[in-house]
Chain A
């Protein structure tokens, strides 16, 4: 889901930065309010976990691969604004240090994987908190929602930006992109994200209750 440089038209790049900029400003204010010596090891470890889980590329039928993101987990365990900023910083490091995802497309990637992932994960968890499957469902729907937004960013490119009938940027249309991206995230990577979210959540939360009792 890391959109590389050159895949989105300049207009899309400007629009995504315009949308994400105020969200980043507000998110950094939230981070400022909660980042101290006590929370740093927590926020750092959760962000590191997001970075590491994205390195687990999972091969699927059809010759492609994908990975979980971990935004839902940070949001459930800590706070969705911290999830959004943490995953945004992970995406920045991936783009600058590892060439994974573009700089011009950082805003688009942050909106899909970080913002949508964090908030959809958080609110769907809150809504079905009383069910045991809540962490799994939150992780699954968070990643699937992220893939919906990514497929829209990519799929609109050949509709609006062509030259002499040839696409200038990402060439495949909405339908193909939606089926390929959202489908694979519903069936495979979203399930992995759900299992990851549920396992880590229960490992951290349930045992904590036992210790307290």
Chain B
């Protein structure tokens, strides 16, 4: 099961630039300019929303083209996920031991 999963994951990761074919945003995920155009105003909550300064905002890296940024984003995202699960496993184990010895 594992080997085939990794084949699928690798295949999807290679094909990832296909995800850039759509230039349109998802329904209901527009930016302020869209509301200005459609409604004539931007709802206050949306206008005043505080958002984080995401390092790879919109899956792009400044100064690189979109395909490079997209590949890099996929790699970074996958890497973070594996590290996260690894760290969680270590935390769970350490806590499990301390519970047993207590």
State the A residues within 8 Å of B (CB): 1-7, 9, 31-32, 35-37, 40-49, 51-53, 55-59, 62-67, 77, 89-90, 93-100, 102-103, 150, 154, 161, 163, 166-172, 177, 180-181, 184, 200, 203-204, 207-208
Pairwise interchain contact A55-B26, C-beta atoms closer than 8 A:
no
CB-contact partner of B26 in A1, A96, A98, A166, under 8 A = A1
Smallest Cβ-Cβ distance to B83: which chain A residue: A44
CB-contact partner of B76 in A32, A49, A97, A180, under 8 A = A97
Pairwise interchain contact A65-B26, C-beta atoms closer than 8 A:
yes
State the B residues within 8 Å of A (CB): 1-2, 4-6, 8-9, 12-13, 15-16, 18-29, 35, 39, 41, 43-52, 54-59, 70, 73-74, 76-78, 80-82, 84-86, 88-89, 92, 95-96
**A167 with B8, Cβ < 8 A, contacts A5-B49, A184-B27 known:** no
Pairwise interchain contact B41-A166, C-beta atoms closer than 8 A:
yes
**A6 with B59, Cβ < 8 A, contacts A52-B78, A57-B22, A65-B26 known:** no
**A49 with B8, Cβ < 8 A, contacts A89-B81, A169-B46 known:** yes
List 12 other contacts, CB 8 Å, given A47-B81, A66-B27. A43-B85, A55-B74, A56-B16, A57-B19, A57-B26, A63-B24, A89-B85, A94-B77, A95-B52, A96-B52, A169-B46, A200-B8
CB-contact partner of A44 in B44, B49, B85, under 8 A = B85
Pairwise interchain contact B39-A171, C-beta atoms closer than 8 A:
yes
Closest Cβ of chain A to B41, distance in Å, is 7
Closest Cβ of chain A to B26, distance in Å, is 5
CB-contact partner of B58 in A49, A98, A180, under 8 A = A98
Closest Cβ of chain B to A78, distance in Å, is 10
Chain B residue numbers with a CB within 8 Å of A65 are 22, 24-26
Pairwise interchain contact B78-A56, C-beta atoms closer than 8 A:
no
Choose among A41, A51, A166, A184 the residue with the greatest number of B CB atoms under 10 Å from its CB.
Answer: A51
Closest Cβ of chain A to B4, distance in Å, is 5
Closest Cβ of chain A to B14, distance in Å, is 10
Smallest Cβ-Cβ distance to A64: which chain B residue: B27
Pairwise interchain contact B88-A31, C-beta atoms closer than 8 A:
yes
CB-contact partner of A41 in B2, B26, B43, under 8 A = B2
Closest Cβ of chain B to A70, distance in Å, is 10
Pairwise interchain contact B58-A42, C-beta atoms closer than 8 A:
no
